[in-house]
Amino acid sequence: MNLPKTPTVESVGRAFRDAMTLLRDWTRRRRITLAQIGVSIPGLGRFSISVNPIIPCDIGRISGMFGEMFADVPLAFTNSVVAHATFHRCRTENYPFSDTHLFVFVSQGVAGAWMDDPTEADNLQPVELGHMVFGADGPRCRCGHHGCVEAYTSLPALAELLGIAEAELLQLGSEWVSTIPISSRVRQELRRRLFRLGLAIGNTLNVKPCSGVAISGWPSLLADEDRNAVVEGIDACLLGGRKLAQVSLAFVPPSTGNDPQAALAFAAFCLANRGGMPAASTEAA
Ligand SMILES: [Zn+2]
């Protein structure tokens, strides 16, 4: 379901209601009883339980709608970066970290999540590192501020830098790296922005030290010479530098915010945490 160009609490609420109605009718027709609903929303944090600063929606109201339509189904909301982190950690073969690390997602938005013990849902905390301001006179960010690292490094910002429409960039998917010619001027600016992203990550690690960082998103598609700018940015601000701080970095493939995989992985994670399917159920069999 598409969201309107300028989303409001009302129009986002309507889109949720339409999607829920579709889901309810679909499950009824197939006589399926849902075991868990997982909802992933960009910008959902501990201060935005009622009104969300990134996607204008009233979580309380949406939660009420789920209650009306799916009365007995367990429901969980999360920040979309937590859902993506769950997806990558649980579904990626050879995911680089199994212990505590910082997951950084560079897509439509830019954010991070602390990944601690995977059996504790509370240990997955979103980190709004994308809204670290680097220049108060910089480009406007969707959070309402100017010059956030997200305003320089998100997919919409990348599309603008490459001189193509965001829709075209999304359609190209991972192919954009080999399809779109990059002039040396654009490449230089790209590296400057990646350096800023590195600074934001390094600053985050200064606040809460951590020995592993997984970066997922469009920077993962770039050649080493380009994405090294991220590493240099981390080195430039991480106390003691990366070597002394013993931080290992890994680039993992990007995933987009539009597919349902992240929310599905999050719902499966919630279900597993509650003990999974009853052993006697045919589904479990
Ligand atoms: Zn921002």
Please give the pLDDT value at position 151: 96
Residue 35 and residue 115 in one domain: no
Do 106 and 220 share a domain, yes or no?
A: yes
What is the share, in percent, of the chain residues with pLDDT greater than 90?
Answer: 60
Please name the residues in contact with 51: beta carbons below 8 A apart, sequence gap of 6 or more. 9, 57, 58, 59
Asked if residue 237 belongs to a domain, the reply is yes
Local structure of 219: helix, strand or coil: helix
CA atoms within 13 A on the CB side of 87: 25
Same domain, 131 and 204: yes
pTM of this structure: 0.88
Name the domain count of the chain: 2
- The distance in angstroms from the start CA to the end CA of the chain is 33
The more confident residue out of 106 and 45 is 106
Q: Where are the beta strands (DSSP E) in 119-244?
A: 124-127, 212-217
Task: List the CATH number of the domain containing 138.
Answer: 3.30.420.40
Domain region containing 198: 95-252
CB atoms within 10 A of CB 22: 11
Residue 34 sits in the same domain as residue 74: yes
63 plus 174 within the same structural domain: no
DSSP tag of 81? H
CA–centroid distance, 42 to ligand 1, in Å, is 12
pLDDT of residue 64 exceeding 80 = yes
In a domain, 285, yes or no: no
Q: Does any domain span residue 278?
A: no
Please indicate, yes or no, whether residues 69 and 141 belong to a single structural domain of this protein. Answer: no
Ligand 1 geometric centre to CA of 163 (Å): 22
Say what the pLDDT of residue 42 is. Answer: 83
User: pLDDT grade, residue 49 (50/70/90)?
Assistant: low
Model confidence at 272: pLDDT above 60: yes
255 pLDDT more than 70: yes
**C-alpha of residue 141 to centroid of ligand 1, in Å:** 5
**Between 199 and 58, where is the model more confident?**
199
Same domain for 65 and 154, yes or no, is: no
Q: Is the confidence at residue 43, as pLDDT, over 80?
A: no
User: Are 215 and 138 within one domain?
Assistant: yes
Q: Residue 102: is its pLDDT beyond 70?
A: yes
Residue 276 clears pLDDT 90, i.e. is over it: no
Tell me, yes or no, whether 120 and 218 share the same domain: yes
Run of H or E residues at 113: strand 110-115
CA of 130 to the centre of ligand 1 (A): 6
